[in-house]
Amino acid sequence: MTEPVREVPVPREPLDTEPLGIECQTNAENRALLYRALADAGVRLGTYDRRIVDWFGASDSSTVLTVASLITRAGAPTEDAT
């Protein structure tokens, strides 16, 4: 049986400091966070892309959250978009 993966809110504003509070995230939770951010941004993934996301999911949680935040913000409409 697999453990449930918690959903961590991804910051949608620029980060000026390291995001804290998720230090105990598991690698599975980190990967789920990245896959969710990529899916929400409409990014299509190939086999090698998924391999790299899986590998990067083993990084520390604050780094993963920062990258997920960058993906989220990159895929979001800008204020001057019409």
Query: Is the pTM value of this prediction over 0.75?
Result: yes
Q: What pLDDT, on a 0 to 100 scale, did the predictor assign at position 82? A: 46
**Helical H segments across 11-60, by residue range:** 27-40, 47-56
Residue ranges in the chain whose pLDDT is less than 50: 1, 82
Q: What pLDDT, on a 0 to 100 scale, did the predictor assign at position 80? A: 60
Q: What pLDDT, on a 0 to 100 scale, did the predictor assign at position 16? A: 95
